[in-house]
Amino acid sequence: PQTIYLADYTPPAFLVEKVHLTFRLSPEKTRVLSKIEFRPNPASSSRTFFLHGENLRLIGAKIDGAAITPQVTAEGLTADVPDAPFTFEAEVEIDPAGNTALEGLYMSNGMYCTQCEAEGFRKITYYPDRPDVMSVFTVRIEGDMPVMLSNGNPVAEGDGWAEWHDPWPKPAYLFALVAGDLVNHADRFTTRSGRKVDLNIWVRPGDEGKCAFGMEALKKSMTWDEEVYGREYDLDLFNIVAVDDFNMGAMENKGLNIFNSSCVLASPETSTDANFERIEAIIAHEYFHNWTGNRITCRDWFQLCLKEGLTVYRDSEFTADMRSAPVKRIGDVIALRARQFREDNGPLAHPVRPESFVEINNFYTATVYEKGAELIGMLKRLVGDDAYGRALDLYFERHDGQACTIEDWLQVFEDATGRDLAQFKRWYTQAGTPRLRVSEDYEGGTYTLHFEQHTPPTPGQEVKDPRVIPIAVGLLGPNGDEIKETQLLEMTEARQSFTFDGLAAKPVPSILRDFSAPVILDRETSNEERAFLLAHDTDPFNKWEAGRALARNGLLAMIREGAAPDAAYLDAVHTMARDETLDPAFRALAHGLPSEDDLAQSLHDAGHTPDPQAIWEALETLRDARAVTMEATARALYDRHQVTAPYRPDPEQTGARALANAALAILTRRDGGAQAQAQYDAADNMTQQLAGLSCLLQAGKGAAAVQAFYEQWQHDRLVIDKWFSLQILQAAPQDTADTTARLTEHRDFTIRNPNRFRATLGALAMSPAGFHHASGKGYKTLADWLIALDPLNPQTTARMCSAFETWRRYDADRRALIAEQLDRILASPNLSRDTTEMVSRIRG
């Protein structure tokens, strides 16, 4: 396969003025008629006319009304064209029913839908399928479907046809079409300048009752973007459609967002608190793309972080405003470390703005999205809130309607603030997570912090230059009072020291408050100091971080030296659990332990070979010990934080349920599941029901509830996804692979639905002790299914290969078992470009 380089970018030879598309829908033989007005691009010296096109059957083509015979290859079409504006027409036939890759136009439960980002439009018709070609689309849909939608506004409709027009020029990846038997949950929104917007969430009949929450989230998002970023919606209609078969979470097509049904449908009975929060965030994310992504798009796919990093940052600000900012921040950092640090540390590491790719679908990664968002957060910290606001205003003013680059983005900040961002740009171009070593001095009232930054080599990047790192620091006095409020230290050198004068005693530093930069802090410190920060730090993130570090250290000592559970940790976490001045949601988070993967990475970083089974056992031992210490407290917390009011997925109730369910997990280790069974039986919402079931499985008492749950929910695909996952996640390590294999034989398992596939095989990959079981069964089970999925759906297959990305951490036996599976995948006949690239990079 061919590698594509950022350095090779050239402007398009031809621009598109207008596109008219006609779809004659038919499951296996849909006809697409295109009429495209081209003109030579004055900014390009090339006059080569090339249109992308894949899996299309060309029926005929014309230029300015005269039939032509273009040269057609597997990638597209070329033709001789005039050196002046001209009209190109084509008629092609495509097979939506046979499209299992879910890219382009495909069918899901009898409904037609599209997914065009990044390069799906070329599977619909011949077109310059690149984001820097923006055009105005008119679409006519012919078919016998009750509802037929496309981007923009409806123009006209009749029996068996509908016409749509989108006045905003857009790249082809934002094109969308939906046709099916759908019903809508409707509402209205008036923008601050008085534009009345019709809002709809379209779903399959039967799902109408699961739309209200998503609709509220949409309206909140629209208001928030007006208030915080000054951005209004720009059409008279905003449609969201829920689709069951979807590779991603959702897609921001102009005026017609398409959602994986798991990311929009919600009801108290079927969705957990975490589902509600995620749905709110994704609705916001896709809506915010209307400005950061659609009105201002990317010049090429190397600039993906331009829209994704910024939009993730915006949706995290939104959630922080709607809910608890500290809880959101802690949750984001847990996810960043679990997914992005893991990626940055292994064979798939790449810069936030990559320099090359084989298949762009493989770069919709935690690095582009979540680290991309961290870069925006750092930029905002460095320039300050006001300057950030000015820079964003300038960005929208200067670049509206354009396809832009990271250079354009940084230029806006330089122009708005006068700051030189050349060094900051390294965050976009250098891969790897910087490690920040810290040491300290105290003498004569002066306290000094010494920092040293170092970024380990990543594939293709041996040596890194120092980056600018914003380090938020506060100081605490010996009695626990804050003696220096948070200040931002700007580190620009490889080594740099910062002093604080006039201190009466040696302070305790609170470093990297609010996780001010995506780095790994490396500081030798005592458990006493961690316990002190856990008790006294005013920064909620660092307070949580201190507890997490205490837990991690104790666990590492248990794993490495066979130490007993750390009394200091047990004491500290117990004290915090009882502190009713603390937000229950915060306390629930503080109860979480480092993940198995987190501990494996810590061991690896310290030069040890992680044993997944030993890690799992240490966590179990610690949880048992904690249950002994905290039994009475857990009982009290459980009772005290029961929610009696009618279910609402708001931050207060969510926090109370999270803490009560953390207490339930503790109690289950003492009462053998009695309380969990009572909760399961009484539950009137999915959060309580699933927590009950999870604890019962944990206690080995889940068999009856598993059966009952299935019978209750077998009609609901999204709930049954949870049922598949939970049984695998809660299996003992030696049973994980067998449980997975058994569930793949269940009549409700299907390889064709990405959600179901991820619920099952993804759960296996997310159970480290089971996946890495010494028998190698976990590796083989996953590889078998990835090999089976690849011919059907390369995108989802390739993404799930990242389960193997940490393989070099492990012992020689496990490495050999994994290498065998990676080689077996690579040797599969006709392996997709997507999976070939991923597995080759992982194999190294």
User: Which range touches Zn ion (CB under 5 A), out of 23-31, 104-112, 310-318, 650-658?
Assistant: 310-318
User: Minimum CB separation from Zn ion for residue 352, in Å?
Assistant: 14
When the beta carbons of 294 and 311 are compared against Zn ion, the nearer one is 311
**16, 46, 51, 85, 836 from 41: Cα distances, Å:** 9, 9, 15, 10, 35
How far are the Cα atoms of 180, 202, 267, 459, 562 from residue 262, in angstroms, in the given order? 19, 14, 11, 35, 43
Tell the smallest beta-carbon distance from residue 311 to Zn ion (Å): 5
Which one of 63-71, 300-308, 516-524, 722-730 is the stretch in contact with Zn ion (CB under 5 A)?
A: 300-308
Stretch that binds Zn ion, among 67-75, 309-317, 551-559, 760-768 (CB under 5 A): 309-317
| C-alpha distances out from residue 839 to 702, 721, 827, Å | 37, 27, 11
- What does the DSSP assignment read for 49-62? -EEE--S-EEEEEE
Give yes or no: 493 in active site.
no
Task: Pick what 611 binds: Zn ion, ligand DPP, none; C-beta below 5 to 8 Å, kind-dependent.
Answer: none
Shortest Å, Cβ 829 to ligand DPP: 31
Residue at 170: amino acid letter: K
Q: Are 537 and 546 in contact (CB under 8 A)?
A: yes
Q: How far is the CB of 251 from ligand DPP (least distance, A)?
A: 4
Rounded to a whole number of angstroms, the minimum distance from the CB of residue 396 to Zn ion is 18
Instruction: Select from ligand DPP, Zn ion, none the partner in contact with residue 597, using the beta carbon and a kind-dependent cut-off of 5 to 8 Å.
Output: none
Alpha-carbon span 28 to 353, nearest angstrom: 39
Residue 36 CB partners (closer than 8 Å, separation 6+):
16, 18, 19, 20, 87, 88, 89, 127, 135
Pick between residue 30 and residue 260 the one whose CB is nearest to ligand DPP. 260
Residue 844, both tokens:
């190294």
Q: Point out the residue whose Cβ comes nearest to ligand DPP.
A: 251
Cβ-based nearer residue to Zn ion, 311 or 802: 311
Q: Given the complex with ligand DPP, which of 251 and 585 has the nearer CB atom?
A: 251
Cα first-last separation, the chain: 16
232-248 core/surface letters (b: 16 or more CB in 10 A; e: else): bbbbebbbbbbbbbbbb
Residue 276 CA from chain centroid, whole number: 16
Contact set with ligand DPP (CB under 6 A): 117, 248, 250-252, 285-286, 289, 308
* Rounded least distance, CB 288 to ligand DPP, Å: 9
Q: How many positions of this chain bind Zn ion (CB under 5 A)?
A: 2
250/637 with CB nearer Zn ion: 250
Stretch that binds Zn ion, among 311-319, 385-393, 766-774, 825-833 (CB under 5 A): 311-319
Name the token pair of 478: 């010996």
Smallest distance from the beta carbon of 372 to ligand DPP, in angstroms? 11
- Matching residue, tokens 């504006």: 85
Q: Binding partner of residue 248 among Zn ion, ligand DPP, none, CB under 5 to 8 Å per kind? A: ligand DPP
Beta carbon nearer to ligand DPP, 245 or 598: 245
Residues in the chain: 844
Q: Which of Zn ion, ligand DPP, none does residue 671 bind to, with CB < 5 to 8 Å depending on kind?
A: none
Q: Which stretch binds Zn ion (CB under 5 A): 90-98, 308-316, 628-636, 821-829?
A: 308-316
- The CA-based diameter of the chain, rounded to the nearest angstrom, is 89
Q: Give the active site residue among 54, 117, 119, 286.
A: 286
Of residues 286 and 721, the one with the C-beta less far from Zn ion: 286
The closest alpha carbon to 96, from 39, 35, 145, belongs to: 145
In whole angstroms, what is the distance from residue 610 CA to residue 605 CA? 10
* 537 token code pair: 């730090």
Q: Per DSSP, what are the bridge partners of residue 91? A: 33, 60
Q: How far is the CB of 291 from Zn ion (least distance, A)?
A: 12
666 binds, options Zn ion, ligand DPP, none, Cβ within 5 to 8 A by partner type: none
DSSP type of residue 69: -
Question: Cβ closer to Zn ion: 292 or 411?
Answer: 292
Out of Zn ion, ligand DPP, none, what residue 117 binds, judged by CB under 5 to 8 A for its kind, is ligand DPP
User: H-helix or E-strand containing 504?
Assistant: none
Residues that bind Zn ion (CB under 5 A): 308, 311
**Active-site residue list:** 286
